[in-house]
Structures are given as C-alpha cells and as structure tokens.
Structure 1
Amino acid sequence: MTRKMIKVHNKSDKPNNIVQKENEIIEKCIELENILPDFMKDFFLYLKSGVALTTRFAYLQDIHFFCKYLVSEKTITKASDTQDILLEEFSQIRARDINRFIGEFCTRYTVEKQDSITVMENHNRSLARKKSSLAVLFKYLYRDELIPENITDGFNPIRLPKPQPDAIKRLEIDEVAILLDAVEKGEGLTEKEIEYWEKTKLRDKAILLLFVTYGLRLKELQQLNISSFNFGRGDFKIYRKRGKEVSMPLNKSVEKVIKDYIEKERPGEVHVSEENKDALFLSLQKTRMTERAIRELVKKYTSIALGTTKDHGYSPHKLRATAATSLIQYGFSIYDVQNLLDHDNVTTTQLYAAHKKNVKREIVNNFEWLDEYDNNEK
C-alpha cells in the first residue's frame, strides 16, 4: 500500500517543517504504544502531556526494549508478544529484576540479522537513561495503584563521571581561524572535495559561522528557514528544546554570509520543490540538508583545523562548546553565555568558564606594579 502524502494545516507560529518533523516523532510514539501492553495506556497519556516529545519517544523506546527482554527471557511473562504482557505478571517484577536487566543484559547484548551479529555495548550514561525510563514507568504504575509497591527505591545506583573542564573538546580561537580560512579558500580539501566545495562554499561558510557564533544545536540549525530571518529588524528565530521560540540577534558577519549564500549560491525558488522552498540550507539535490549531512560537513572542516583525519573531526556539539569558551575568553559573563546557549543550569556554563583561568594568568602577568617586572615598560 502506498503511503499517502501528509499535508500540514498549520495555524501555529511554528514553521511547517518543524510541525512536520514533530508529527513524524508522534507517529513513531504511537507505533510503539500500539505494541506495548494495554494497561500502560494512562501512562502514555501522562507522557504525552508531561514530558518533551523527544523524551516521550526515548522513554517508549526503552520501555519497549525492556518488554522485549521480558518476552525473550520467559521467566516473568508467558507472553510471546510485548502487547500481551499482563498487569498481573508486571506486578511480580522486583527491583532485583530491573537491576539484572540493566546490570547484566543491557551492558552487552547481541542483535542478530540475516547476515550478521552485532555486539551492542552500553556505557553508564545509556544505562542511566534506561533506568530513568523504567523508574518513571514503575512510579506511575504505583501512583495509579496498578502495582502494589514502589520498587524504584531498590534500583541500583549508576555512577556517572563528573564532567571535567579539561575534558571538554572544542576548537581554540586560532583553530577557528583555520576552520574559516579552509572554507573560504578550500585549503586542506581533496580534489574531489574541491569539486563540491566550489558549489557549496558560501553555504558551508554560513553553517560554520552560525555554529561558532551562536553555539546552535544541530537540530536548531537544520530547521532554519529563509523566513526565520528578518534582516530589517536584524534578528532570526530558532526553536529550542520543548518547542521554545527564541529570537536571536544578527551580527554583521553572520548577516553577510547568510545574504551572500542566498543571493549568490542557493538555488532560486523556481528550481526548488514546494516542500523545500523555505528551507535555508539545501543539498546539491535541492532538498533540505539532513542532520547527518551537516554533521559530516562539520567533521570535514574541523579535521582540517585540527590537522587530523576526517574520522577524528569534531561534531556540531563541539562547535557549541567552542562558541561557549570563546565568548567567555572574550570577557562575556557566564550568565550572558548561559542565556545565549540556552543552558538549563549555569553549572553547565561554568565548565566552559574554567578555561578562562589562562586568560586571568595572562592579564595578571602583564600587570606588574614593580618596575623590574614590568615587561610593558619602554
């Protein structure tokens, strides 16, 4: 059966591409809900109204994975399908069962396909997310009096490494200069890459400058439209986590590269399909660039700045860290940077602020009161 075309009848302020993307995730959520036990239906409603859409999808994936494990193990349920697991069977689950699932099964398991077997390994951060998803489910079922006790207090703790400032990967200011020089002149690219660069250099430059100026998340940049920009007012709109609409001011550098790309390189409207007419960054196929394509573009140029292979180039998130540390090194307060980057907690921004120690040392070393130590004295 051919799939019907989905049209967006949009009465909100959100652009159609964002509404359509959200609808795709909602459809995936519904697909998962339809293959999970019926007694979880009220829990699905709670997720729908209580958490962000991407969080809802992640929780459902984890819970479905756990239910598949129960079916395959056959110790708690006799069901042959996740949808057929009974509430009575679920009520028999104890904390030790969850601890075994997370501590033994999830750390390393295999996925079999027709022609291959893939070994899957999860680090503590992934295990902590699975534990969190199950904790939310079991707390809800207990609160709703569907199971007799709250077993989550017996879940084993999972230790997560504390983020260390020195471990934050980002480009130094001089490496950002090399990055922008590479996209400007094509230096460091292979002959094959030069062929593509000739057609996309203005687009690539605009993408990189947006990342290192604003510290945008990959999703935020990928969703940008031409209509997102109001050059008359000098700002542009982005949609952050939890659907939050934010207006960002344009500086002259970013305004110039965006206009250059639109006017000199981006295909005109007559050459672009209706679905992609408003998309800001287009591929050579004249469709909205995918997150994967943007990620590969960033890895390519950052590998040149770092003097390493493409496989060891940085992700867009590392350019977010680059923007944060650069702004702090230029003297902006951590609260200003927190606001710009949309950090929920200022402690996240403080990790980047730790890099300012070298700047402080430089200032103090060049500010001597005693003449014999004053290097600035002529």
Structure 2
Amino acid sequence: MAKKKMTPSSNSNKLTGINQGDLNSRLSKNKKLKIHNKSDTPDNIVIKQNEMIRKCLWIESQLPDFMSDYFMYLKNAVALSSRLAYLSDVLFFCNYLVNELQFSDAQKPVDIDADAFYKITAKDINLFLADFCTRYIVETDNADYIMENHNRSLARKRSSLSVLFKFFYRDQLMEKNISEGFNPIKLPKPQPDAIKRLEIEEVQRMINAVETGEGLTEKEKQYWEKTKLRDKAMLVLFTTYGLRVSEIQQLNLSSINYARGEFKIYRKRAKEVNMPLNHSALSVINEYVKLERLNTINLDDPLFVSLQGTRMTVRSIRELVKKYTSIAMQTSRDKGYSPHKLRATAASSLIQYGFSIYDVQNLLDHDNVTTTQLYAAHKKNAKRDVINNYELLDEYNEVKKNKK
C-alpha cells in the first residue's frame, strides 16, 4: 500500500469529507417532489426515506465502481439508516486514502484502483483508526474545524470497514479476512449510576414549568403563550412512552385512532407499532389539537407544528426538551437534557413504579433486555425496600403465636 509517513502535522491537512451543505445542494431539485403512495406509510415517512436513499445514491456515485456489489449487499441486508452510515464511513476512509496517503495515484475516491484497494492490510486500517481518526482538521470556507473521535465513534468506523472487507473476502476478492486483525476498541461498560435521567420530582417540576411558564425568561414566555399546550403534549408523550425524537417528530394527526384509543408510530427498521393511548396522553393531545393546533396556518397532517405552521424539526424539539429539562433540574440551559434522556426517564420511572422489565423492554423497543436492565438498577433503595418488607422474626413470632 503506497503511502506517505504519517506525522502529527499530517493530521492537520485538509480532509475532504462529506459536506452536508454541498450534499443537500447536489440533491436539491427545482422540480416539485410528488408522492404516489399506495402504502399505509404516511407521506412524510416516505419523503424522509427517499431523502436518505438519495443521499446513499450520491455517496455511491463518489465511490469506485468495483464496490457496486457491496452497495447492492447493503441495500438488501441492513436498515436504511445503517446503509447510509456505512457508506458515509467508507467514503470518509476513501477520502483519507486519496488526500492523506495519495493512494494509487487517485485524484478522488471514485478513481481508486481495485487491485490496490484489495491489498490494504489490517495494519493500514489500525493506523487509520488510531493515528488519523482520533484527531483531524476539516477546512471550510468559513473556518477550520478540529474533529475529535472517541472510542464510540472509532468503533463505529471500525465496524463499517469490517463489513466492507468481510464482504470482499466472502466474494473471494481478497485472500484474507483482514477484519480479524483489526485492533479491538474498548468501549466503556454502561454503568447504571451514570445514566442521565430526571427524577420523578423533576418530571413534575418540568410539567409545572410548561403549564405555568415558571423559570422561563420574558422572551421565552412570549413564545410559550402560543405553544405551551403543544410543548406539554410532547413532554408527556416523551416521559410516558419513552419515544425516540424521530418518532415524536414524525407523528401526524392521522396517526391517532380515537375509536381504538391508540396511535401509530414508525420505529427503526421500518417497524410500524400501535401504541395505546392512556387518559393522560389523550387529554393533552386533545387539548393541544382543539385549542392550539387548529389555530396554526398549516392544517395539513403534521401533529406537532411550529409557529409557522410547518412540521417541527428534530433540532427544534431537542431545544425545547433542553429548555424545560434545565428548568426541572434548576440548571443553565446548556446543561439541559436531550430527548433521549427523557426516554431513559420513562424507562426508569416505569420500573420504579413496579412494571416488569420485559414489559418496559417491549414498550421502548429495546432489542436486548440487558439494555432495559440498566434502568432497573435505578430503582432507589431496592434492597432496603425488600428487607424492610420482610421481617423474618415477625413472621416467625406470628406463626408461633398461631400455634398456641
């Protein structure tokens, strides 16, 4: 593998990665996108999936042709979000080969020579992950960004490259499965005590803040007056069902089936799930729809809309949650929690109230019950509760008394 010697200074060279703005501009069209949808999947979900597919196709167009069979494999073997992540990591690696190593005299990733690529070794990958990916600089017209990857990010890149090279080995394009020689990347073991979540008292404080405006700045109160019912409905759904932010963002008016008392969400891997509506969820949704939602400009299908009448973005939902959780914890706005922390809050609260781990696993869509068990450890004073409710001598004396 032809390469130059890597030094700390070489990590400061310009890396041409995937520029999201450039990607979006290349994908954008002046033509209006129309949906011919004969499935039960809502149009907004179809549009989102289509955007991801277009991004995948654009990335594939930047990569060499000899990877075409690999592209087909990803298309049929993994979820769409995983396909996009794998392709992004592969393009990142190929840009590294071209811009940092002047690999096979290629001027851009699409020019990379197949025979040279098949000669890449595990040592080359380990050097890429350990020496380059940990810290590099991305130059843009406005600023230079220092990018740092820690073990979790490095592990994802390692996984993406493992899938790629295992595929080439399986198709007998490479003599060895070089992924077996990739250095392990140790990930911190999840610690229950490290899981960030709101306590039950803090959830109550958060709901009180959205109801009364307590803790908001004067400027925030101006928006709060127009969105408090929407915000309350979203926070109740987050903390009741442990929904992911994308699942909340994609909800539609048509997602709610009042006759059956349930609403439909679309989870990872294109799973459709019907969630039952309890009294709390139904009341906050009805209040929002009747008193706030109908006053918006846009009366199309999105359930949660901005003041402009358009579907709320994931970013705006994150900011909303961060604001109210910071008030609940009585801390600064930048210390507020993400929507995923409300998912953890829901899991821990349900277990604390005595619901089965397996029921909570099913509700939150955890693939493995061990993930749910992490939240079970948050049940405070569990040992004390067990012991205090089991007084052995009292039981013994009661039996002895009855025998008399």
1:274-285 aligned within 5 A: 277-285=300-308
Aligned pairs for 1:1-378 (under 5 A) are: 3-74=30-101, 76-267=103-294, 271-272=297-298, 277-362=300-385, 364-365=387-388, 368=391
Contact 2:103/2:112, CA 8 A, preserved across alignment:
no
Q: RMSD of the TM alignment (CA)? A: 1.4
Structure 2 residue ranges without an equivalent (≥5): 1-27, 395-404
Separation of aligned partners in 2, 1:286 and 1:115: 32
Deviation of 1:368 (Å): 4.3
SS at match of 1:120: strand
User: How many Å separate the matches in 1 of 2:84 and 2:276?
Assistant: 32
CA distance in structure 1 between the aligned counterparts of 2:36 and 2:291, rounded to whole angstroms:
32
TM-score, L = length of structure 1: 0.94
- Shifted more, 108-117 versus 51-60: the winner is 108-117
Deviation at 1:267, TM superposition (A): 3.2
| Counterpart-to-counterpart distance in 2, 1:113 and 1:233 | 53
Contact preservation (8 Å) 2:247, 2:266:
yes
Q: Distance in 2 between matches of 1:240 and 1:351?
A: 21
In the TM superposition, what whole-angstrom CA distance separates every residue of 1:166-204 from its partner, at most 9, and x where no partner exists? Answer: 000000001000000000111000000000000000000
SS in 1 for 2:223: helix
**Aligned-partner residue type, residue 220 of structure 2:** E
SS in 1 for 2:381: helix
C-alpha distance in structure 1 between counterparts of 2:231 and 2:328, whole Å: 15
Shift of 1:116: 1.9
Q: Secondary structure at the match of 1:356?
A: coil
CA distance in 2, matches of 1:76, 1:187: 59
Secondary structure at 1:118's aligned position in 2? strand
Report the Cα offset of residue 14 of structure 1: 0.7
* Contact 2:192/2:374 (8 A) holds in 1: yes
Give the distance between the partners of 1:147 and 1:29, measured in 2 at CA.
25
* Secondary structure of residue in 2 paired with 1:161: coil
Displacement after TM superposition at 1:369 (Å)? 6.2
Displacement of 1:33 = 0.2
SS at 2:145 equivalent: strand
Q: How many residues get paired? A: 367
* Alignment partners' CA distance in 1, 2:64 and 2:287: 54
Equivalent-residue separation in structure 2 for 1:339 and 1:360 (angstroms): 26
Rounded to whole Å, the distance in 2 between the matches of 1:11 and 1:35 is: 32
Task: Give 1:114 shift.
Answer: 2.4
Tell whether the 8 Å contact from 1:76 to 1:93 is kept in structure 2 after alignment.
no
Q: What residue identity is the alignment partner of 2:326? A: S
SS of the aligned residue for 1:119 comes to strand
Percent of pairs with identical residues: 66
User: Offset at 1:357?
Assistant: 4.9
Gaps of 5+ in 1: 372-378
- TM-score under structure 2 length normalisation: 0.88
Distance 1:284 1:267 in 2: 12
Q: Which amino acid aligns with 2:208?
A: D
Taking the aligned partners of 1:87 and 1:21, their CA distance within structure 2 comes to 33
Mean Cα displacement is larger for which, 8-17 or 25-34?
Answer: 8-17
Structure 2 residue identity aligned to 1:139: K
Q: Is the 8 A contact 1:335 1:346 kept in 2?
A: yes
1:232 & 1:284 partners in 2: Cα distance?
Answer: 29
**Distance in 2 of aligned mates of 1:35 and 1:354:** 47
Q: Deviations over 1:207-236 (max 9, x none)?
A: 000000000000001000000001121100
What secondary structure, in the 3-state scheme, does the structure 2 residue paired with 1:34 have?
Answer: helix
Q: Distance in 2 between matches of 1:135 and 1:346?
A: 26
| SS of structure 1 residue aligned to 2:105 | coil
